[in-house]
Structure 1
Amino acid sequence: MKSISVFCGSSEGNNKVIVDTAYKLGSVLANRDITLVYGAAKIGIMGKVAQGTIDHKGRTIGVIPNFLRTKEIVNNELTELIITQNMHDRKVIMYEKSEGFMIIPGGFGTMDEFFEITTWGQLGLHTKPIGILNVNGYYDSLIMQCKVMVKQGFLKQENLEAVVIDSTIDGLLNKMNNYKPLPAPKWLNKEGL
């Protein structure tokens, strides 16, 4: 993978391990020559990932909707800044610029991005790897809820297994690099895409 979208929080939360891991992720991406695609802010967890990438001479692409420029502090050190009209366009551009997606700790916005990109994969709209970096057990409850969905018949086991999970950066990146996509759904109208 040459580029990864990282979905994460615009606040730092209150766990130093998460903050430190976010910065380390940025440095690892830079050292592996993987372009960071993210939400363009220099605040929060997303700011830490970006700073780790920038400090280690990595490439960064920030994508932010125009209306958030007044609420979030845009990082002016980015390799490339893309301003969109709305949140949907932001996600589409992040999708187009990325060869994979990584979810690290965040709130509702991060969950929105995770579930949308995962749903697109389930529907066969992309075959890019999706990884959850389960820092300090942050996503244990989410993973458990997904298992409940499988048990209750609302989610196929194969779709859950299509999301790779690890508690370490290197472990997750290795799993994402070795990702084997699911076959396209039989019902997918390939001509209509």
Structure 2
Amino acid sequence: MAMDLILLLGFLLLLVLLFFVNRGSNLRLPPGPRGYPLLGALPLVGPVPHSGLANLAKRYGPIMYLKMGTCSVVVASTASAARAFLTTFDSQFANRPDNVISAKDITYNGNNMVFSNYTPKYKLFRKLSTLHMLSNKALADWAPVRRAEASHMVRTMLESSTRNEPVVVPEALLCAMVNIIGQVMLSRRVLISPQVPSWASSRLL
């Protein structure tokens, strides 16, 4: 019993020492709350993260440094601060974190545009997607598909209402969106009816 108590006290002392050593580093970090040992700023963020971060931003400014458990996080809380990260200095902050294990498994070790680092391969992916998917010509080419799916959605909702069946608008919109993506990527409709569980549509996306 005494040995367990000694080990517990030693562990807590080690956490406190690590906490103060990290705070005494010479890194030029943005302002932020002191936080707690091991937990960091997690208790300060609270159960509603966006509200807690907004309250912290009122005290520490638009760019904050937080310790979320053992992870170091920099939070941009205004449009101008986010623009600095995503537009002005995007090449410096474009790399993805290496510790997202699930993302590595899903994307074959980051070999897609979402989780790829800022490399020549990523720049090629972005150029191709902008040219063939997001340009005005590409959007105009797929306009008939969007119109057809919108008409199909409205017709399906009308048929359900005439049969006195409930119409779940979010499910119908999700079904139309999945079918638009399916026709763009696979050249075929993926879902026949919006009467499918929402989790199934989400997994297809």
State the TM-score, normalized to the length of structure 1.
Answer: 0.24
Larger relative helix fraction: 2
TM-score, length basis structure 2: 0.23
Instruction: From the two aligned structures, give the one with the greater strand fraction.
Output: 1
Higher relative contact order (CA 8 A, sep 6+): 1
Q: Which has the larger radius of gyration?
A: 2
